[in-house]
Amino acid sequence: MGMRVVAATEAGWDAVDTVMRADASSRNCQCQFHILENADARRTTRGSRRDLLREQVRTLDPPRGLVAFEGGTAVGWCGVEPRVRVRHVLASRLVRAHSLYAADDPGLWAIYCILVPPPRRRRGVGAALLSAALEHAVSHGATAFEAYPIDTSRRGGELPPGFSTGTVAMFAGHGFAAVAALPSARTLMHRLA
- More confident site: 136 or 120: 136
Per-residue pLDDT, 160: 60
DSSP 186: B
Per-residue pLDDT, 58: 93
**11-20, 57-66, 114-123, 174-183: range with lowest mean pLDDT:** 114-123
- More confident site: 79 or 26: 79
| pLDDT, tens only, 86-116 | 999 999 999 999 999 999 999 999 999 999 8
Return the sign of the alpha-carbon dihedral for residues 135, 136, 138, 144: negative
CA distances from residue 32 to 35, 53, 89, 153 in whole angstroms, order as listed: 5, 7, 11, 27
Per-residue pLDDT, 14: 96
Would you say the pTM of this structure is higher than 0.85? yes
Full set of structural domains in the chain with CATH: 3-192 (3.40.630.30)
157: Cα separation from own chain's centroid: 21
76 pLDDT above the threshold of 70: yes
Longest dimension (CA), the chain: 44
